[in-house]
A = this chain, B = another copy of it.
């Protein structure tokens, strides 16, 4: 069972060795070479087989354990988790997620303004009173059918935002292009029933179930760049994630 993984490591590549191992094992699990429940060789031998040091091998396996693909037990070994693992939902935008799945998301910009932030928004973005922010609401459709109604506030000292660019691409893509490196986000997921404003926009009826998501995103300098409140049609969207015990 414990066959040495058939991986190729490119030491001249700019991408870190441990990350190459992560991707390699991920692929082996995805294409079925590593079947769920099977045991891996011990990390010492694996490292030797790939001409890597043990810490590097360990770092790769750590990532996979955190991602929920592997399970380790001291004195026993490492196993492939028996589950059809979905992407552990990292910090990404809805637009990117949908695009990656092959759907074609479109965006209608419903409102767009550059305004003084009210007290609540100043609080959420840790801005001084009187700061200005971009505020806009968008309707996200996929294959022509409405999926999400999104309201966002973005601090205006990171980049200028044009209404037209919001129609073309996701908010996160715009901010990334402007040099913003997102690091983490605080998120809250709940539920509500559609009101008479939301229902027609989402092509549903008042009283139908909606998933709500509030998020505030922080960049690599510790600034809170963006906060927003989104609602999704519950029959077309839900949040999947993998929780890992530490």
A positions within 8 Å CB-CB of B: 36-37, 55, 63, 66, 68, 71-73, 79-83, 85-86, 89-91, 126, 181-193, 207-212, 216, 218, 220-224, 234, 237-246
Contact = CB atoms under 8 A, between A and B. Distances in A.
B190 A234 contact: yes
A71 B222 contact: yes
Contact of A238 (B72, B81, B82, B189): B189
A210 to B, nearest CB: 6
Number of copies: 2
Given A80-B222, A218-B82, A242 B71 contact: no
23 contacts: A36-B222, A63-B246, A66-B66, A71-B218, A73-B220, A73-B221, A80-B222, A81-B218, A82-B126, A82-B218, A86-B186, A91-B244, A183-B245, A184-B242, A187-B240, A187-B242, A187-B243, A189-B189, A189-B211, A190-B238, A190-B239, A193-B193, A193-B208
Contacts of A224: 82-83
Given A208-B193, A209-B192, A221-B73, A184 B243 contact: yes
Contacts of A222: 36-37, 71, 79-82
B211 A191 contact: yes
A183 B71 contact: yes
B71 A220 contact: yes
Contacts of A193: 193, 207-209
